[in-house]
Amino acid sequence: MTKAHQEPSRLPVRGTIATVGTVGALALLLSFRGGPLAPPEPVLAAVEPGGSQTPEPTAATETSGAEATVGAVSITGDTYTTPYGDVQVEVTLDGGDITEVVALTMPAGDRQSRRISQYVEPILREEAVTGDSADVSVISGATFTSEAYAASLQSALDDATTVDGSAATNSDTAATASDPTASSSTTPTDTTPAAGPVTVTGQAVRFRFGTVQVAATVEGNDIVDVQALRLPNGDRHSAQISDYVEPILRDEAISTDNAQVSVISGATYTSRAYAASLQSALDQLG
């Protein structure tokens, strides 16, 4: 029986080729030598040219404007008399700004006066703080109180000095601060206990018809003279009243050696303002 001729199998050849190819590829991979991997570049913080590393801004490194300020200062204004009571305020300044105004005294002699004071005080305070000045409104129905509030506030602002005390907002105080020996433009006051009269100037008291201010001359415990520096004279009638009451009030003050003078009929406001200014002068002597 004749055997059929068999074609040689190709599988060994294909297997050999695949094996050779695999070995060759491995040899190529093993023989390939690349350069070493470069290390990752470091992440650098921003550096100013020629300078040191710039730190990240934080709240702790920010300069606060408050650190440069010294702090707030409070000044008490003069007392101003109205027909319904006295008005006096205290202002708090921080730098050049009004941060608070406190009414130390407001008219409260009766229910109506208290009600008006409670109504106008927050309005005037808000205007002063907002406007950083004593230029507040004259509120209808509270004219006297509004004007006295503004006057007391302005007197406090006039007395305000810089934080270091080297200058003042008015020329008189500035001269005294810079040169203790400089004389003031106001009436000089002899503070020494030496014999002789001493003249002191009282506060200016404003009211509806004008302003009253007096200067008292005192020797020992006696009032030897009272000079009216300012009296209402805005019109003929006011001038006539001032001319009439001034010598009466002066004689009473000298006779009694105090500020408890009479309230003259027809010149109630002027009499009370005269007494208030005289008392403020005497208070300076202790």
Query: What are the domain boundaries of the chain?
Result: 71-178, 198-283
- In CATH terms, are 71-178 and 198-283 the same topology? yes
pLDDT of residue 192: 42
Does residue 278 surpass a pLDDT of 90? yes
Q: What is the fold of 71-178?
A: Sufe protein. Chain: A (3.90.1010)
The pLDDT value given to residue 20: 54
For domain 198-283, give the CATH number. 3.90.1010.20
- H/E/C letters for each residue in the chain? CCCCCCCCCCHHHHHHHHHHHHHHHHHHHHHCCCCCCCCCCCCCCCECCCCCECCCCCCCCCCCHHHHCCCCEEEECCCEEECCEEEEEEEEEECCEEEEEEEEECCCCCHHHHHHHHHHHHHHHHHHHHHCCCCCCCCCCCHHHHHHHHHHHHHHHHHCECCCCCCECCHHHHHHHHCCCCCCCCCCCCCCCCCCCEEEECCCEEECCEEEEEEEEEECCEEEEEEEEECCCCCHHHHHHHHHHHHHHHHHHHHHCCCCCCCCCCCHHHHHHHHHHHHHHHHCCC
75-89, 164-178, 208-222, 266-280: lowest mean pLDDT where? 164-178
Q: Which residue has the higher pLDDT, 226 or 20?
A: 226
pLDDT > 70: percent of the chain: 63
Predicted pLDDT of residue 67: 37
pLDDT of residue 74: 86
Whether 168 has a pLDDT exceeding 60, the answer reads no
Give the model confidence (pLDDT) of 175-221 as tens digits.
333 333 333 333 444 444 445 789 989 888 887 788 899 999 999 88
